[in-house]
Amino acid sequence: MNKQLRKAVIAGNWKMNNTPAEAAHLIEEIRPLVANASCDVVVCVPFIDLHAAAKAAQGTTIRIGAQNCHWAQNGAFTGEISAPMLRAAGVTHVIIGHSERRTYFGETNGTVNRRVRAALDEGLNVILCVGESSEQRRQGVTDELVAMQVKIALDGVTEAELQRVIIAYEPIWAIGTGKTATAQQANAVCAVIRGAVAALYGTDCANKITIQYGGSMNAQNAAELLSQPDIDGGLIGGASLKAPDFAAIVTAADKG
């Protein structure tokens, strides 16, 4: 991390876990453990938990995020949630393009770009996810693929709007598998992402953008990953569901 140039951000992605009551309880557990955090702390919860999470986080620096948003403001899109709805629910951040959305629900680079546009138009902060599969890594196309995902997702995003974008590198082969890229592997791809941003916006903007690692970061490996120069935080899956583990990662970010 380079805290002189950019903000460290630790975001929990709860995925499809926790009822509203469970969400409130978990945030109440997390609150005292991260009360003095110098990094930004975000919890991205299921839609049904947004109200309870926002209420539980009141009076703290914990920010509430959603796990997706639609590109339209309203309309006949059964089962979807719009950016204005998220804003009204107290959301400040939204994950877009997570590999599980791409893999299981047909998300494409093009729809990711449309969702990014909608979220930014509503004033939300975007956590943009990019990453490769194990086969794509084996084929040696990681750098080209990730750079392409970044460039398409940011199409039409202005330099000023880029300040509200966080990019999360999440190797698909390391999500929910217990496998983790080595610190050096993760940093190398984060550097590629920074290079792709530099190609679009210039080196100054690239140096200021926060890039997270999102592949099975946990309390044990966080410090090593966060010690890398191009890793500025984490998008945390399973470890974010346990208050002590999540807090340990926040602590590692503060010390990094």
Q: Which active-site residues does the annotation give?
A: 98, 170
Residue 39 to residue 253: CA distance in whole angstroms: 7
Q: What is the dihedral of CA 111, 211, 155, 176, to 10 degrees?
A: -20
Residue 50 to residue 213: CA distance in whole angstroms: 24
Residue 174: Cβ within 10 Å count: 24
Residue 117 to residue 131: CA distance in whole angstroms: 20
Q: What is the DSSP letter of 61?
A: S
Of 184, 252, 224, 44, nearest to 53 (Cα)?
44
Q: Which two tokens stand for residue 250?
A: 């926040």
Q: Is 38 helix (H, G, I), strand (E, B) or coil?
A: coil
